[in-house]
Structure 1
């Protein structure tokens, strides 16, 4: 009786050892050099610029402004920034300053009496279209230490639309002219048909006219909460 019990117990123990060994071997085979990562990394946060983004290679700012939509910019500015900013002339101060007529004005000094952060008030320069675009893209990168908590608006066209709306609210500098497209050439180095007037004779193609803007003025962050804190 004892011999049979010992034999059975031995086989059970042996089977367990074999199963454990096979489990260890299979685990190493299927996971070696194959680190697992989830399909989705956490929860996306709207408006936050993720690592790897920002390397934009699309149209330049002048082109985006020329083809932009001030009405879309108004919707974005009011919806995303309206809780902290006002945009109309004589509008009050909320968590952020009133943004009427901000374009072309000194950075961090537009709204008299508003307590701008030293990072912004000491930045220098004016709210040019380029500076406003950089601010809307990443406030902290534009003025490290700013009180503005918004992470940044990664979509370049959204930023251009908001800038056009700001220009409508109080005006701003003349819009930049988009660069003329390079004339296409055929294999012989001659201008291809349809490359533009004067291209065949080696004359520069005419620059397209910039689209007129309605009259916007004020910094606003598309997906951001505000423009100038």
Structure 2
């Protein structure tokens, strides 16, 4: 019941954060070119906008160094780390622990679009971010944090 409520809160926050407050979205998307690649989107991605767009994630995750885990692990410094291993004390699902790979831009892009497609049976209950520039902004935010 609590997990269902957290998912509902996260989805509502995502709907608000993904569509509002980014007056540069269309111009940045145009600058990335027609049918932009992830690399082109990352070239125009903005970590500060990504921080705002990650508001939905903050229903379940923390992002500050030293902050505790919540329903999901603290995501500070996750970029470049092994999947399912960034926070040793967090109880990751076996599916995520066993997935292998690292949280690079391509993996995060696929994950933020549809976590279940990347790691079937993951405990991550999130519907995804459909807009590719919104995903790139969140990835830029995660990448900007370092370790």
Shorter-normalised TM range: 0.7 to 0.9
Instruction: Give the equivalent residue in structure 1 for 2:37.
Output: 60
Match of 1:126 in 2: 102
Matched, 1:104 2:98: no
Which residue in 2 is equivalent to 1:70?
47
Q: Determine the structure 2 residue equivalent to 1:88.
A: 64
- Corresponding residue for 2:121? 145
Report the CA distance between 1:91 and its aligned residue.
Answer: 1.1
Write the distance in 2 (CA, Å) between the matches of 1:95 and 1:104. 22
Larger Rg: 1
Any stretches of 5+ residues in structure 2 without a counterpart? 1-10, 16-33
Report which of the two has the higher share of helix. Answer: 2
Distance of 2:35 and 2:123 partners within structure 1: 30
The alpha-carbon deviation at position 115 of structure 1 amounts to: 0.5
- Runs (5+) with no aligned partner, structure 1: 1-44, 49-56, 172-229
CA-based RMSD of the aligned residues comes to 1.8
Q: CA deviation at 1:58?
A: 2.0
The answer for the alignment partner of 1:169 in structure 2 is 145
The 4+ residue runs of structure 1 with deviation greater than 3 A are 45-48
TM-score (norm 1): 0.49
